Every structure is written in C-alpha cells, then in structure tokens.
Amino acid sequence: MDTTLTAAFLGLLEGLTEFLPVSSTGHLLLAGYFLGFHSAGRTFEVVIQLGAILALFSVYATLLVRIALRARHEDSARRAIVSILLAFLPAVIVGVLAHGFVKTVLFETPTLIAVMLILGGFVLLVIDRIAPQPVHHDALALPFRKSLAIGVCQTLALVPGVSRSGATIVGALLMGVEKRAAAEFSFLLSMPTMGAAVAYDLFQNRDILDFGAMWEIAVGFAVAFVTAVAVVRWVLSYIGRNGYALFGWWRIIVGSAALAALLLGF
C-alpha cells in the first residue's frame, strides 16, 4: 500500500477508535503489523495521537474554560479538577515504572493484543448487562475515592488491547456511574493522561525518533483529528441510548480475526 494511503488509513483508525472502548493502540499495532508498517521509536503512532487529543480539546474547550474560570470561586469546579487529577495519578506512577517493558515487550506481541481485544469484548458485554443501578449522573461530581479507583482501573490499559477508555468506563460502571457520565469522565481523564503519555514517550525516545517521514505524519495527524472530532460528538449520544454492547462485539470480531490470521501465519 502507498505510504500516504497507509498513513491516512492509520490516522482514520486512530481517530475512530481512540475514544471508543475498543483499544486504539491495539488496532494501530495490529494494523501496522499486518501492513508491515513500523516507525522508529513508534514516532508515527505517538504523534498522530496528538491529533485525537487536540480534537477532544476542541470539543470540550468551552467546558474546560468554564471550569477554569469558576474554579476561583466555586467549590464544585475545584472538586471537578481535583477529581480528574486524582484519577490521572495512578497512570503517571505505573506508566513511568513500566514504560520500558510496555514499549519493548507488550507492544511487540500481536497475539497478546488480539487476545486482550477478545477478553475485553466479553467483559464489556457482561458489564453492560449486570452493571449496578447508577447513582452518579454527573461526570464532574464523582466522589474522590471513586475517581481514584477509576484511575487505578485505567492503568490496566498499559497492556495494549485492553483499551484506556474501556478500562475506565468499566470501572466507572461498576462503581455506579451512569453510562453516558462514565464515557464523559473517561474523555475528560484522557486529556491529561494522553497528553502526558505522548510527551513522556517522545522524551524517552528522543534519540531514536524518526521525523523524516513528515508528510505521512502530517496526513495521519490531520485525519486522526477530523475523525476524532466526529466520533466524540457522536459517541456520547449513542452510548446514552444504546450502551456498550456494539463495542464489545466489535472487539471480539476484530480480535478473533487477528488471532486467526496470526495462527495461520500471516
């Protein structure tokens, strides 16, 4: 496949999957494996995530500015900020400690990624049915201990194929957070988490990063941004009406297809 088309396809995949509970990293790594695409230091895969992050900032810009302005004189706004930061903290600690192992071992094990996609799909299907009755309907007003617990769940996503949003959403649902609010909290948490992860990854790999293919990176970045904006605007209303079963089945189908292809030697 032409490199520009490959970059556009991977950017599309990133934008479509980053904020869905299906594991964007798992999809990107599997697609790169089967397409024979690999960038030094995973430069391409890391940088195009910035497109998805900027897309989320653009969608939530008004809310973020409002919270920042109100934080000077409203306890609820300050609590919302602290809640997000508490949920962010476990990923910082575990991410720094496990970064090398994750990038050099887990990212290079496509069979593990496929299996985690399948297992995560079944978990989503089960939780979507048995989650307790929601007692929290506002993503910005979760108790601190529950925010921290959701953050602990997020660390599971260091294993590619688990899904950052999937782990946080499942954790939130089990703690009585309403489906739409669980997704929104996951979105808000993703901004500091993804921003810090990309910055740390670029710093750690600064000596081997390859920015030579700037055209492909720019194409992937732009496609990821545009696609992610559309997905974020759509997914909250969809989840509010239909839940997470679709994404569970999607994970199972993609993971099973990838696992079959790997077992057949492709």
pLDDT by position in tens, the chain (length 266): 568 888 899 999 999 998 899 998 889 889 988 888 876 666 777 778 888 889 999 989 999 999 999 998 999 999 999 999 999 999 999 988 887 788 777 777 899 999 999 999 999 999 988 989 999 999 999 999 999 999 999 999 989 899 999 999 999 999 999 999 999 999 999 999 988 888 887 787 777 666 666 788 889 889 999 999 999 889 888 988 888 999 999 999 999 999 999 999 87
Token code pair at residue 221: 């970045």
Rounded to 5 degrees, what are φ and ψ at 264?
Answer: -85, -5
Paired residues of 177 in beta bridges: 136
Integer Cα distance of 56 and 59 in angstroms: 5
Cβ neighbours for 62, distance < 8 A, ≥ 6 positions apart:
none
pLDDT in tens, 129-169: 898 999 999 999 999 999 999 999 999 998 989 999 999 99
Q: String of b and e for 144-167 (b: at least 16 CB within 10 Å)? A: eebbbbbbbbbbbbbbbbbbbbbb
